[in-house]
């Protein structure tokens, strides 16, 4: 099943990674809702509990990450890459955005 992920990396002015996070957008099913003890060999579609963590076309997602910075950091390069997994373990970048934040003394 195709999946998507957002990878966010922040580096200081010297290129050191100070933050790295990956958020996956999955759609999957939990098996055996309630007290249904149906053996796996007798697959019961009614025992599934779907969990949809995908992004729909045109839908946006927002998350705030707070990073504690050392007082010697003068700038941070932030890179956000949206990836699409078209087959298991084969991720393709769809969009990449970078931004530099400079801190005044």
Q: What is the pLDDT of residues 12-66, one digit of tens each?
A: 999 999 999 999 887 665 555 555 555 555 555 566 666 677 777 787 888 888 8
Q: Sorting pLDDT into bands at 50, 70 and 90, what band is 83?
A: very high
- CA gap 18, 67 in Å, rounded: 8
Contact 55, 63 (CB under 8 A): no
Instruction: Name the residue with higher pLDDT: 10 or 49.
Output: 10
- CA gap 7, 100 in Å, rounded: 16
Give me 1's structure tokens. 């099943």
User: Looking at the predicted structure, is the pLDDT value of residue 74 above 90?
Assistant: yes
């Amino acid at each position: 099943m195709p999946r998507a992920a957002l990878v966010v990396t922040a580096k200081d002015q010297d290129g050191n990674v100070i933050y790295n996070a990956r958020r996956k957008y999955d759609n999957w099913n939990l098996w055996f809702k309630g007290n249904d003890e149906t053996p796996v060999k007798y697959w019961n579609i009614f025992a599934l509990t779907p969990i949809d963590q995908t992004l729909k076309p045109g839908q946006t997602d927002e998350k705030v990450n707070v990073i504690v910075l050392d007082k010697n950091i003068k700038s941070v390069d932030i890179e956000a890459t949206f990836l699409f997994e078209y087959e298991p373990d084969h991720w393709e970048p769809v969009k990449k955005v970078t931004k530099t934040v400079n801190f005044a003394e």
